[in-house]
Amino acid sequence: MNLNATVLGQSIAFLLFAYFCMKVVWPPIVAALEERKKKIADGLEAASRAQLDLAAAQEKAGEDREIAKQEAAEIVEQAKRRANQIVDEAKEQARTEGQRIISAAEAEVEQQTNKAKEALRAQVASIAIAGAEKILQRSIDEAANEELLKSLASDL
Amino acid sequence: MAESSGDLLYESGTEYVSHHLGFLTFGKLDGHWGFAHSAEEAAAMGFWALNVDTMLISFVLALGFMGFYYFISKKMTSGVPGLAQNIVEMIVEFVIDSVDGAFHAKNKFIAPLALTVFSWVFLMNAMDLVPVDWIPLSAQLIAGDSHLYFKAVPTTDINITLGFATTVFLMVIYYSLKVKGPMGFANDFLMHPFPKWYLAPLNLLLELPGFFAKPVSLALRLYGNMFAGEVIFLVIALLGWYQLPLHFAWAVFHILVITLQAYLFMMLTIVYLNQAHSVDH
């Protein structure tokens, strides 16, 4: 083992290769490693964020469903109330209509009765005249007795 | 293969092993430049010589893994990674984790440096797992010289490990001066471990050897481990057919060693540089 200029050659080569390594080889490798590290970190962060979003969305959906349920129940309740109201209104209407028909019929009956009474009176008058004619056996001046007959008829 | 080459080319096991431990050294000998034909000639070339074999393999490996990283970094995606990108990411993240654990200051150079050290040392150590004769024999065939020395595992060359360690040591000094300033740096030696001015000489005596031991131990630890492993591979290669199970067992064990040594080298580099950056001792 004798020392010679190989020491110098190796030293110089070592420095040159190390310098080349630092300037040319090292930066892109480390840059790629850093970039991948960042990508992975971002991906993990995005995943955890998505998980939180999902949980929030699920909670929101649950709330929405609860609200929708309440609203539906309210609507059904309202509809029921409205139906009852309509039925009540119809009943009321029917009753008043019936009342109206009854009173109209009663008025008609009264009118008819009055008419019949009138006709009867007239007939009774003529019958009374005829009777009187027969009883008296003589003709009587109708005009002279008109007043008398009328008062008779109204007494009936 | 080892046995046949041992029979044909080498007179003894000692020669086989020592030949495999020789370097292909290029330098100036007796006034003209050329390759050394023996360890003595290589030693005689002095400091201004180059171990062409270990340097070449070290360069090829560095170009290989750096080219691979470069290729992957160009088509890096932050989406789903492919197999190759996955491998690179695994290594890079391992290095980032190690640096985060041991380095507490801010310096953009440390992590790429650690990646370079780890990948490079690991690959150079891994050359140990290539059967010991393949690369030297190939080199001998290409060169047409059956006595060519060719060392395949760069980290069994003290020059290579010392090259790393020296660079790390110089960086420690550079960053210490930059971060702590000359006074702060001097303070580390004069006021530790005893913060009394009159004990400064004693502190210096305690701290200075430890400081200079850092690069030496860094270089020698790697070199020693890999050299020992290499020698055992060579000895196993001398055993004829018995080498097959033994070679397998030692190679499997060695996978642990090469990974551990590469990891240790990277961690110590980070730790030393962290000490250079930490103002509080």
Q: Is A33 domain-assigned?
A: no
Which residues in A lie closer than 8 A to residue B166 (C-beta atoms)?
7, 11
Contact B214, B169 (CB under 8 A): yes
Domain count, chain A: 1
Rounded to the nearest angstrom, the minimum Cα separation between A46 and chain B is 17
ipTM for the predicted complex? 0.87
Take residue A59 and report the two structure tokens written for it.
């909670």
Domain, as residue range, for A135: 39-155
Q: Which tens digit of pLDDT belongs to each residue from B33-44?
A: 888 888 888 888
How far apart are alpha carbons B157 and B59 in whole angstroms?
14
Contacts of A15 in chain B (CB under 8 A): 167
C-alpha dihedral, B240 to B242 to B245 to B248, nearest 10° = -30
A7 lies in a domain? Answer: no
Q: Band the pLDDT of B2: cuts 50, 70, 90.
A: very low
Give the residue numbers of B annotated as catalytic, written as ranges: 217, 221, 225
The answer to whether the CB atoms of B73 and A25 lie below 8 A apart is yes
Q: Is residue A15 part of a domain?
A: no
Q: What is the pTM of this model?
A: 0.75
**A125 within a domain of the structure (yes/no):** yes
> Distance between terminal CA atoms of chain B?
55
Distance in angstroms (rounded) separating the CA atoms of residues A101 and A107:
10
- B169-191 pLDDT tens trace: 999 999 999 999 998 888 888 88
Residues of chain B neighbouring A30 (CB-CB closer than 8 A):
92, 96
Close Cβ partners of B163 (under 8 Å, ≥ 6 residues apart): A6, A7, A8, A9, A10, A11, A13, A14
- Residue A75: is its pLDDT beyond 50? yes
Tell me whether residue A43 is in a domain: yes
- Nearest 5°: CA angle at B245, between B242 and B250? 110
Does the pLDDT at position A137 exceed 80?
Answer: no
Q: How far is B122 from chain A (nearest CA, A)?
A: 14
Residues of A with CB under 8 A from a CB of B: 1-11, 13-15, 17-18, 20-22, 24-33, 35-36, 39
Instruction: Give Cβ neighbours of residue B279 (< 8 Å, ≥ 6 apart).
Output: B179, B180, B184
Domain contains A75: yes
Whether residue A30 is contained in a domain is answered as: no
- Please report whether residue A13 resides in a domain: no
